[in-house]
Amino acid sequence: MGHLKFMQYLNFCCCCIPSFENVRTATPLSTRNALHLTGILPSAVENLDQQKKRALSQLRAKSSSLEKYIFLAWLRNTNIRLFYRLVIDELEEMAPLIYTPTVGSACLEYSHIYPFLAPPGVPDGLYLSINDLPNLTQIIKNYRPYPFNESLTPQIAVITDGSRILGLGDLGVNGMGIPIGKLQLYVAGAGIDPRRTLPITIDCGTNNEKNLNDEFYLGIRKKRVSDEEFYPFVDAVLKALTSVYPDLLVQFEDFSSEHAFDLLTKYRDNLFCFNDDIQGTGAVVLSGFINAVRLVEKDVHPTKHRILFFGAGSAGVGVAKQLLEFFKIEHGMSEEEAKKLVWLVDTKGLVTSDRGDKLASHKVYLSRSDNEGRQYKSLMDVIEYVKPTVLIGLSSTGGVFDETVLKRMAELNKNPIIFPLSNPMVNAECTFEDAMRNTDNRVIFASGTGFPPFVEQVTGKIRYPGQGNNMYIFPGLGLGAIIARPVKITDRQIYASASALAESLTKEEYDQNFLYPAVQRIRRVSAEVAAAVVVTAVDEGLARNPEINSMVKKDLKELLSRSGEKWQELIKYVEERMWDPNHEKAFPTESLIEKSKF
Ligand SMILES: O=C([O-])CC(=O)C(=O)O
Ligand SMILES: [Mg+2]
């Protein structure tokens, strides 16, 4: 083998673009012989499981989550198959490291921990700066995922501008950790081929002074551009992306609230896209809510709930709108009737139409006008006024559901439904432990970030918190959309994803009053979510995949009921299309061996 072939094998070609996968000690002897690699690798030939065991022990030896994050990023960049074997098999341990809460710390530190010892040419994703406006198409074509395969074009892009990263605010280009992390969950959770994922951060400046003054900050050092520049730039990016990849699904992520709603309104009907913070979070919370409502049904009739949202940003309003769909679809309520079950609280108190300040446009729809001129400023004032059965936190205000709030919820309700959904952990409105202690263990609980289980004092019974993790929805929703290729992502498809998730509980999970399925079952759950999206898209007449259309149309009635043999067959069809790191042909090196014969 010449020098060029060898460099290719080690992931480098002469222009430093990785071409072939390097599985290192898992390289079989035949391949080592064919590529003249004997002696270059140690003599042991390992399988993926042995490699995984070593990687796991190296990972666990690291003392901080951030060090673990950096180790995993390095692993992903050097042995992608091993990385995903580890993440898929140990998802419960890995998800908090590659995603929330650790991704929050990683984004805060992104410009300092960069570049994860990545070999040259292994891209993190695409950085598209406002200065690149004239050359967007060419720059998008520059992106070559690792290991590169020309025929595998990106199917899904997660795009952010870093302006509202989790609950951490404007982090500018440091927000790149989010699209990278979300797409890793697409691979692990729904079996999207990693080479077909495209993380994108658009850099329109940042208003984060700390970043602007940080000598290592990697983004453009100027304040965010005005809306007059921002919207045309986003438009140009999306046009360039879809001109290069016409079937690309675009997931908007962590844009500031106003922009998030505006972009979704602007593009939802003419671009293959959705917004994870509005629609994904909405669906995942709706799903937990459906199961929570079921758990308290004997005490509270579903249409008698009084739902208080603390936090009225993109996630708060997105979730509230999604819950309205439940009352409309499942309980035949009109939109006006359903709206009466919801109260929003923002930093100024209860959102009312006569409060005297100019409400942001996304809040107007759910503002109350039955407050008889009275304004309620503090959360406790609003709780006394509304007497909620459900309290949902999407405020990024850590600990705001304090002892007084939780105890009052427990006085008002036999089983208060309390969802502190803010991320990362420091921003959660309360912990699981606080919620249990202050409600005599009666709370029905789901959080955005993972909390440890709680041991009941008297009984010694272990209680598990629900985690309304977005990862239960977006990978399955995206996979279903990629398979059916609907013209657009509709509210009905989102609703189907939420209700399929609610129904995905096993008998054991159901009997233990779980709100969400076990994380370890994520691939099966994603297949069910995806199948529900596929069926809905076909039923709506929007699916563009002819094979899917003919397959699903034959048995549409049965498939819409999401039960029976045909439903199981469809789930199997979806599962068979999931990428797995062990698949023999995942990243073939055969072509390299062929070439080396000449
Ligand atoms: O990442 C999550 O699980 C929730 C999310 O999108 C956010 O907080 O922006
Ligand atoms: Mg988000």
Split at pLDDT 50, 70, 90, the class of 587 is low
Cβ contacts of 518 within 8 Å, gap of 6 or more: 509
Q: Work out which ligand 1 atom sits closest to the CA atom of 448.
A: 3
Q: Using a pLDDT cut of 90, give the percent of the chain over it.
A: 82
The per-residue pLDDT for 33 is 87
Q: What residue numbers does the annotated binding site for a divalent metal cation cover?
A: 253-254, 277
**Of residues 64, 65, 76, the one with CA closest to residue 117:** 76
What is d(CA 110, CA 403) in angstroms, rounded to the nearest whole number? 35
The model's pLDDT over 158-175, given as tens digits with 9 standing for 90+, comes to 999 999 999 899 999 999
pLDDT of 21: 63
20 pLDDT higher than 90: no
Average pLDDT on 563-585 reads: 91
421 sits in which H/E element: none
pLDDT computed for residue 63 by the predictor: 97
CB neighbourhood size of 94 (10 A): 24
Tally of structural domains, the chain: 3
Same domain, 503 and 526: yes
pLDDT-based confidence at residue 359 (cuts at 50, 70, 90)? very high
Residue 366 has pLDDT above 80, yes or no: yes
> From ligand 1's centre to the CA of 204, what distance in Å?
21
Judgement on whether residues 447 and 526 belong to the same structural domain of the protein: no
Last-in-domain residue among 468, 493, 517: 468
- Residue ID of nearest Cα to ligand 1 atom 6: 277
Q: What is the pLDDT of residues 44-69, one digit of tens each?
A: 999 999 999 999 999 999 999 999 99
Could you tell me the two tokens for 196?
Answer: 């077909």
Non-local (6+) Cβ contacts of 261 within 8 A are 278, 314, 317, 361, 362
Average pLDDT over residues 312-317: 89
Does residue 9 fall inside a structural domain? no
- pLDDT the model gives residue 19: 44
* Among the bound ligands, the one closest to the CA of 428: 1
pLDDT at 238: 98
Q: State yes or no: is 182 an active-site residue.
A: yes
How would you write 581-598 as a 3-class SS string? CCCCCCCCCHHHHHHHCC
Beta strands in 187-283 (DSSP E): 197-203, 249-252, 273-275
Question: Which residue range forms the structural domain that includes residue 477?
Answer: 471-576
pLDDT at 585 over 60: no
Given a cut of 70, is residue 592 above it in pLDDT? no
Burial profile 44-64: b = 16 or more Cβ within 10 angstroms, e = fewer: eebebeebbeebeeebeeeee
CA atoms within 13 A on the CB side of 292: 30
Which residue has its alpha carbon closest to ligand 1 atom 8? 166
Residues 453, 407 share a domain: yes
Question: Are residue 366 and residue 237 in the same domain, yes or no?
Answer: no
Given this model, what pLDDT does residue 10 score? Answer: 46
Give kind and range of the element (H or E) at residue 418. Answer: strand 417-420
Which alpha helices (DSSP H) does 474-521 contain, by range? 474-484, 491-503, 507-511
* 412 Cα–ligand 1 center, Å: 30
User: Which one of 9, 69, 84, 99 is the catalytic residue?
Assistant: 99
| Residue 6 reports pLDDT greater than 50 | no
- Ligand 1: centre distance to CA 188 (Å): 17
Question: Same domain, yes or no, for 242 and 297?
Answer: no
Residue 360 lies in a domain: yes
* Distance in Å, CA 168 to ligand 2 centroid: 11
Q: Is residue 197 part of a domain?
A: yes
Helix then strand count (H, E) for the chain reads 28, 14
Encoded amino acid at 314, one letter:
S
The residues near 43 (Cβ < 8 Å, ≥ 6 apart) are: none
pLDDT attached to residue 8: 46
Please report the pLDDT score of residue 17 as a whole number: 42
Q: What are phi and psi of 222, to 5 degrees?
A: -155, 165
Where do the DSSP E strands lie in 46-102? Answer: none
Across 62-76, 334-348, 366-380, 456-470, least confident range: 456-470
CA of 281 to the centre of ligand 1 (A): 7
Candidate of 158, 252, 275, 277 to mutate for ligand 1, largest count of ligand atoms within 8 Å of Cβ: 277
Confidence of residue 207 (pLDDT cuts 50, 70, 90): very high
Give yes or no for residue 412 having a pLDDT over 50. yes
Protein residue with its CA nearest to atom 2 in ligand 1: 470
Q: Taking residues 104-111, what's their average pLDDT? A: 96
Do 453 and 560 fall into the same domain?
no
Query: To the nearest whole percent, how much of the chain has pLDDT over 70?
Result: 94
Pair 217, 309 in one domain? no
pLDDT digits (tens, 9 = 90+) for 271-309: 999 999 999 999 999 999 999 999 999 999 999 999 999
Residue 429 counted as domain residue: yes
Residue type, 68: K
CATH number at residue 94: 3.40.50.10380
Confidence of residue 7 (pLDDT cuts 50, 70, 90): very low
Round to whole Å and give the CA distance between 342 and 337.
10
Residue positions in the annotated binding site?
164, 253-254, 277, 423, 469
Q: H-helix or E-strand containing 334? A: none
Whether residue 4 is predicted with pLDDT greater than 80 in this model: the reply is: no
What is the Å distance from ligand 2's center to 275 Cα? 9
Q: Are 73 and 109 in contact (CB under 8 A)?
A: no
Q: What is the mean pLDDT of residues 444-463?
A: 92
Chain position carrying tokens 């992931």: 11
Residue 242, exposed/middle/buried by CB under 10 A (0-12, 13-18, 19+)? middle
Last residue of a domain, one of 410, 439, 468: 468
Please list every protein residue whose CB sits less than 6 Å from any atom of ligand 1: 100, 166, 254, 276-277, 281, 423, 448, 469-470
Q: Identify the nearest ligand to the CA of 447 by its number.
A: 1
Same domain, 370 and 387: yes
Residue with tokens 């650790």: 102
In this predicted structure, the answer to whether residue 463 has a pLDDT above a threshold of 90 is yes
Nearest-atom number in ligand 1 for the CA of 422 is 8
Beta bridge partners of 444: 417
CA-CA distance, 89 to 478, in Å (whole number)? 21
Phi first, then psi: what are they for 159, rounded to 5°? -125, 135
CA-CA-CA-CA dihedral for 497, 231, 246, 555, to nearest 10: 20
Give the number of C-alpha atoms closer than 13 A to the C-alpha of residue 202, restricted to the C-beta side.
29
Write out the H or E segment, with its range, that includes residue 12: none
| Residue in the block written with tokens 């070609």 | 13
Banded model confidence at residue 3, pLDDT cuts 50, 70, 90: very low
**Whole-angstrom distance, CA of residue 49 vs CA of residue 93:** 17
CB atoms within 10 A of CB 408: 19
Confidence of residue 23 (pLDDT cuts 50, 70, 90): confident
Determine the pLDDT at residue 104: 94
Q: Is the pLDDT of residue 72 over 70?
A: yes
In a 13 Å sphere around the CA of 598, the CA atoms on its Cβ side amount to 6
Give a yes or no: residue 144 inside a domain: yes
Residue nearest to atom 4 of ligand 1 (CA): 470
- Which residues, in sequence order, are bridge partners of residue 417? 390, 444
Across residues 540-562, what is the average pLDDT?
A: 97
SS3 content of the chain, % helix, strand, coil (to 5): 50, 10, 40
> Are 246 and 283 part of one and the same domain?
no
Q: What is the mean pLDDT of the chain?
A: 92
Supply 306's token pair. Answer: 């009084």
Question: Active site includes 585?
Answer: no
Same domain, 566 and 512: yes
Residue 494 lies in a domain: yes
| Ligand 1 atom 3: residue of nearest CA | 470
At residue 543, φ and ψ (nearest 5 deg) are -70, 135
Nearest CA to ligand 1 atom 9: 166
Three-state SS string over 17-36 comes to CCCCCCCHHHCCHHHHHHCC
Domain contains 66: no
Domain of residue 438, CATH code:
3.40.50.720
Residue 586, pLDDT score: 52
Beta bridge partners of 420: 393
Cβ–Cβ under 8 Å, residues 342 and 333: no
Q: What pLDDT band is residue 349 in, cutting at 50, 70 and 90?
A: very high
Q: How far is CA 19 from CA 15, 190, 356, 457, 592, in A?
A: 10, 25, 61, 57, 10
Sign of torsion over alpha carbons 386, 391, 395, 396: positive
Question: Residue 73: inside a domain, yes or no?
Answer: no
| Structure ipTM | 0.98
The Cα-based distances of 360 to 62, 164, 312, 353, 583 in angstroms read 45, 16, 10, 11, 50
Run of H or E residues at 156:
strand 156-160
Answer whether 204's CB lies under 8 Å from 230's CB: yes
Q: Tell how strand 390-393 and strand 454-455 pair up.
A: unpaired
On the question of pLDDT at 148 being above 90, the answer is no
Q: Which of 52, 182, 321, 363 is catalytic?
A: 182
pLDDT band at 9 (very low <50, low <70, confident <90, very high): very low
Identify the domain boundary among 423, 439, 468.
Answer: 468
Q: What's the average model confidence in pLDDT over 467-475?
A: 95
Q: What pLDDT is stored for residue 590 in this prediction?
A: 46
| Feature table: binding site for (S)-malate | 164, 423, 469
pLDDT value at 191 more than 50: yes
344 and 225 within one domain: no
Q: Do 210 and 291 lie in a common domain?
A: no
What is the DSSP-derived secondary structure letter of residue 283?
H
